[in-house]
């Protein structure tokens, strides 16, 4: 459980830092329009902090941490979430900086972001397999 709480704490720090970065970077660049940078804070809090806090609580009364599929979930989930956050950050910085993106760069960023979402979905599949396995063990 301690590991899950530590991961939640790291995501909390990243979420707070991303909120400050969003506010200060847009202010520094006199940017008042919508930007993808605004998504960072919420994505990190919900998909990082809240998910891992819920999993930590869930692990108190189950053998979640002992399941092989849970280890696989974490090995897939965390890198894919970091990749997704990195793509949001890059796109947001490019937007706020006013850098003109070519169609190729736009497609590349969208493609990598899409891949991170697909990998995240695969990770959730393994998490749900774990939850199903726990349910079967209890019945």
The domain segmentation of the chain, as residue ranges, is 2-138
Tally of CB atoms within 10 A around 88: 22
Residue 135: the pLDDT is 80
Residue 130 CA, distance from chain mean position: 20
The model scores a pTM over 0.85: yes
With residue 28 as reference, give the H or E element that holds it: helix 2-28
Written as six digits, the tokens of 71 are 């280890």
Tens of pLDDT, residues 51-77: 999 999 999 989 999 999 999 999 999
Residue 137: the pLDDT is 76
Residue 139: the pLDDT is 66
Residue 6: which residues within 8 A CB-CB, separation 6 or more? none
Tens of pLDDT, residues 77-126: 999 999 999 999 999 999 999 999 899 999 999 999 999 999 999 999 99
8 A C-beta contact, residue 82 and residue 35: no
Tens of pLDDT, residues 8-51: 999 999 999 999 999 999 999 999 999 989 999 999 999 999 99
Residue 94: the pLDDT is 94
**DSSP reduced 3-state for 9:** helix
């Amino acid at each position: 459980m301690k590991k899950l709480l530590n991961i939640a704490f790291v995501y909390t720090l990243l979420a707070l830092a991303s909120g400050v970065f969003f506010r200060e970077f847009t202010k520094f660049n006199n940017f008042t329009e919508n930007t993808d940078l605004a998504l960072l804070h919420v994505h990190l809090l919900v998909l990082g902090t809240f998910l891992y806090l819920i999993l930590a609580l869930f692990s108190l009364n189950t053998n979640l941490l002992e399941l092989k599929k849970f280890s696989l979930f974490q090995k897939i989930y965390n890198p894919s979430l970091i990749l997704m956050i990195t793509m949001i950050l890059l796109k947001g910085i490019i937007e706020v900086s006013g850098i003109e993106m070519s169609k190729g760069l736009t497609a590349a960023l969208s493609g990598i972001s899409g891949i991170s979402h697909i990998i995240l979905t695969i990770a959730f599949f393994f998490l749900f397999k774990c939850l199903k396995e726990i349910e079967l063990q209890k019945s």
